[in-house]
Amino acid sequence: MLAIDLKGRTAVVTGGAGQLGRAMVRTLGRCGANVVVNYRSKSEAKAQELVQELQGLGVKAMAVQADVTKLDAVLAMRDAIGKVLGAPDIIVNNAVIQYDWKTILEQAPEDFESQFRSCVLHNAFMAKAFVPAMIEKRWGRVIGINTECAMQAFAGQAAYVAGKRGMDGVMRVLAREVGKHQITVNQVAPGWMISDNQRAAGTTDQPGYTKSVPLGRRGEDQDIANLVAFFASDLAAYITGAYVSVSGGNVMPTI
């Protein structure tokens, strides 16, 4: 049986202290990677808790505050990481700004701007900051967390869908631009996954949602983390430019 071995690699997870992010952080650490837990503002305590947890696994870890919608903040994060762990090999662009979903006629212009910054510019800035070192090493993994909503385009999702579709364009172009350097660029597209908040609230059962899911159930945050770890590994060395749905078949990318 093949195992995912990330020993000797360093990964950065933006929004790493968040609901899906913390599962990614833990999984990458269990696979042997050193991990940087990025947080924006309110999750410092959780980020530091994750760092201690990872260090207990025998890997190196650090928490770094940065607003990934701002280039200067991303560059400062890169420099802080470099001083402690060296240049990262893997970046997982997971952070996104939360907002209240409304119809296009009711949605504030600022919400469209926030999604552009946290989906499109976030991915562009992370590439600008971290890909050059990957090019020098001729090895790198860029993993973006997209969404099933990008394919659904349901009412009320306009700002989010616009941001994530823009992100998809950036990631596909980046995959073509950096492939010659043996750097892969892939996207993981979660469905409505179960995470710590739903477990704590007892709201994991959502029959209105699962009735449209071929597997008949909601997925777990761990399902997302598993694919992230795969994309980060040498097992996925010949996969790039992919958008992979992890939604139990709720959305199915077509050929």
Which of the residues 160, 209, 238, 243 is marked catalytic? 160
For residues 134 and 121, what is the distance between their CA atoms, to the nearest angstrom?
19
Provide, for the chain, the percentages of residues in helix, strand and coil under a 3-state DSSP scheme, each rounded to the nearest 5.
45, 15, 40
Indicate the helix (H) or strand (E) that contains 30.
Answer: helix 21-30
The DSSP-derived string for 168-179 is HHHHHHHHHHHG
What are the tokens at 28? 């990458």
Q: Strand pairing partners for 65?
A: 39
Degrees, nearest 5: CA angle 6-8-10: 80
Strands 140-145 and 183-190 come out as parallel
Strands 61-65 and 243-246 come out as unpaired
Does the annotation mark 99 as catalytic? no
Q: Which residues are catalytic?
A: 160
